[in-house]
Amino acid sequence: MSCESKDEMNQSNTIKEIPEMERPYEKCEQRGSASLSDEELLAVLLRTGTRGENALELARRILYHAGETGILGIHQFSMERLMAIKGIGKVKAIQISCISELAKRLSKASYQEALCFSEPGSIARYYMEDMRHEKQELMKLLMLNTKARLIGETNISKGTVNASLVTPRELFIEALQKNAVSIVMMHNHPSGDPTPSREDMLITKRILDAGTLIGIELLDHIIIGNNQYMSFREEGLL
């Protein structure tokens, strides 16, 4: 019998200790997926536990591993960190990684049809899940055509966003190659607070001035925080 089969059999035995109507599968079938807790949802997706614990216990341990605060911690796990958790091998690490990516894409897709590049809130909502979980600052450049439609996006820098890392030359080479007529800059603050720093103000002015000379308009600079954003355009800083 394989190790996976042994683990599944062990899980099958221990899950029986939970009253039948409180077992995640049965509970979902009878009451719907909305009735499940975060731990129960993850347990259903994991399918099996590991030696000595059922899927629900394993899910609970993952969600609160090393002080993580529940389901949002899933976005913070790398494959290596997942596999460092006792009972998590390559297969389960891949499962959890894919769950995280699927959640991001579902969130992004839900805003796709409403995405409007003349509305900072629309842009921020669309990119929020992509950027708010980043542990480092990530600068994106969004390039638009004459109809304010997105024709390309690229990451300009990752790490501390400052004037030495984000230069007008590098940024506008990308924009000119795409024949962009306008651009939107966007980066995240890992702290969760989107208040612009002195460096953010400096970079924005440099790009704005350079764009005016070249003929490519800087429409906005948006800073992504934790479920909040700041727009230079909305704040009257452009």
Range(s) for CATH 3.40.140.10 in the chain?
114-231
**DSSP code of 223?**
E
Which is the CATH superfamily of the domain at 114-231?
A: Cytidine Deaminase, domain 2 (3.40.140.10)
Residue 115 in this model has a pLDDT that exceeds 90: no
Which region among 66-70, 107-111, 116-120, 201-205 has the lowest average model confidence (pLDDT)? Answer: 66-70
- Say what percent of the chain tops pLDDT 70: 82
pLDDT for position 18? 65
- Say what percent of the chain tops pLDDT 90: 30
Task: Count CB-CB contacts under 10 A for residue 212.
Answer: 11
Closest CA to 183 of 236, 142, 138: 142
Confidence of residue 16 (pLDDT cuts 50, 70, 90): low
List Cβ<8 Å contacts ≥24 apart for 166-173. Answer: 166/139, 166/203, 166/207, 168/206, 168/207, 168/210, 168/211, 171/141, 171/207, 172/210, 172/211, 172/214, 172/216
**Which is more confident, 122 or 5?**
122
**Which is more confident, 30 or 166?**
30
Residue 102 in this model has a pLDDT that exceeds 60: yes
156-179 average pLDDT score: 78
Residue 163 in this model has a pLDDT that exceeds 50: no
**Cα 129 from Cα 179, distance rounded (Å):** 28
Please provide the distance, in angstroms rounded to a whole number, between the alpha carbons at the two ends of the chain: 67
Beta carbons of 126 and 111 less than 8 angstroms apart: yes
**DSSP code of 218?**
E
Confidence of residue 179 (pLDDT cuts 50, 70, 90): very high
Beta carbons of 194 and 223 less than 8 angstroms apart: yes
Confidence of residue 6 (pLDDT cuts 50, 70, 90): very low
pLDDT for position 164? 44
**Cα 111 from Cα 15, distance rounded (Å):** 38
pLDDT for position 177? 93
Residue 53 in this model has a pLDDT that exceeds 60: yes
- Model confidence pLDDT, tens digit, residues 55-97: 888 888 888 775 556 676 777 778 888 888 887 888 888 888 8
